[in-house]
Amino acid sequence: LDPDRSLLEQCNDLPYDHDFEFPEERLVLGKSLGQGAFGQVLRAEAIGMSAFKPRDKAPEAVKMRDKFRRSFRKKGADESDYKDLASELKILIHVGEHKNIVNVLGACTRGRRLMVIIEFAPYGNLLSFLRARREVFEPTWTKTNPDPEAEYTLVDTSMASYQISKGMEFLARKKCVHRDLAARNVLVGPDYVMKVSDFGLARDIYQDDLYVKTTSGLLPVKWMAPESLFDRVYTEKTDVWSFGILLWEIMTLGGTPYPGLPTEQLLDYLSEGQRMAQPQNCPLEIYTIMRDCWMQLPDQRPHFGTLVERLGNVLERN
């Protein structure tokens, strides 16, 4: 692979590792967890997965694309969606395993459906998780109760931010550009471990101003860097911009970015050098990191490795 090009650009050159092929007859599909951009996400049980290689993980969720599913969408959409899921499968296999990303466990590619088996996140997506903790949030660095269901503090928000930065550092090292990093696309796994994901669950069910329809498709404009909005450029540094927006979401416990600002005014707002204000109860050191992520010039934004170090230092100091 070309180290100067992203994985997405080279996806057609990636092979499918047949060691990940799991027998479809041993997959028991359960309830739907959501409808994504190119298929369903289902709870599932993969019988015998504990003895299945290549990875010893507990199976629990399946992304599915029916090759022959009828659709009222434009002609060719199903084929395109199938290819998208197949591309995601190859990228997930190639990227490898990390604690802070949603890992692929196997796939069923030989039947009439393409199904990708991934880790299950019992606490759902981070956006809903944060909003559910608004009533128990305390803006303190002291924890009296280790259970985030009973008490959520700056320790928890900083730990979540740190873990996500670790996952993104790993993806950046693998030349994998996310393009849609946001709280809705981070899942909360066992022991409240943050896992970067892109299920596509939000595209069809979120309010219209999160994804704006353009000739390039649905775009999450309020999370996008200026160069992505103006020139459709996507790099590690555009993911860093989105990470700054994600930090803002975390510190507002699931707030919607640029509150009160109509989406159509966002380009002018950013072009004028304006940025979101420091959220209430957000430590200055965290807000400083946000602002660094929102530097106008990409080269002035930190790399994810630097963000891991800075957020780790925040945790150590406090």
Query: 34 labelled as ligand-binding?
Result: yes
- Structure confidence at residue 106 as a pLDDT band (50, 70, 90): confident
Of the options 1.10.260.40, 1.25.40.10, 1.10.510.10, 2.40.50.140, the CATH number for the domain spanning 124-317? 1.10.510.10
What residues are paired with 182 via a beta bridge? none
What is the average per-residue pLDDT within 269-296? 97
Q: Cβ neighbours of residue 120 under 8 Å, at least 6 residues apart?
A: 43, 58, 59, 60, 61
pLDDT of residue 69: 30
pLDDT of residue 216: 45
User: Is the pLDDT assigned to residue 203 strictly greater than 60?
Assistant: no
Query: 37 labelled as ligand-binding?
Result: yes
Tens-place pLDDT, residues 243-254: 999 999 999 999
pLDDT of residue 53: 57
pLDDT of residue 200: 33
pLDDT of residue 295: 97
- Structure confidence at residue 7 as a pLDDT band (50, 70, 90): low
- Structure confidence at residue 285 as a pLDDT band (50, 70, 90): very high
The whole-angstrom separation of Cα 311 and Cα 242 is 16
What is the average per-residue pLDDT within 94-111? 88
What integer best gives the mean pLDDT of the chain?
A: 82
What is the average per-residue pLDDT within 249-277? 95
Is the model more confident about 70 or about 156?
156
Query: 184 labelled as ligand-binding?
Result: yes
Q: Where does the chain hold its CATH 1.10.510.10 domain(s)?
A: 124-317
User: Is the pLDDT assigned to residue 59 strictly greater than 80?
Assistant: no
- For residues 74 and 68, the answer to whether their CB atoms sit within 8 Å is no
Query: 38 labelled as ligand-binding?
Result: yes
Query: 317 labelled as ligand-binding?
Result: no
pLDDT of residue 52: 67
Query: 166 labelled as ligand-binding?
Result: no
Percent of the chain at pLDDT > 70 equals: 78
- Structure confidence at residue 36 as a pLDDT band (50, 70, 90): low
pLDDT of residue 184: 92
Query: 244 labelled as ligand-binding?
Result: no
Query: 183 labelled as ligand-binding?
Result: no
pLDDT of residue 280: 96
- How do beta strands 152-153 and 137-138 pair? parallel
What is the average per-residue pLDDT within 28-54? 73
pLDDT of residue 88: 76
Query: 63 labelled as ligand-binding?
Result: yes
Given 78, 81, 156, 180, the catalytic residue: 180
Q: Where does the chain hold its CATH 3.30.200.20 domain(s)?
A: 11-118
User: Is the pLDDT assigned to residue 281 strictly greater than 60?
Assistant: yes
78 assigned to active site: no
Maximum average pLDDT range among 16-20, 186-190, 208-212, 288-292: 288-292
Tens-place pLDDT, residues 215-241: 444 568 999 999 998 888 889 999 999
- As assigned by CATH, the class of the 11-118 domain is alpha beta
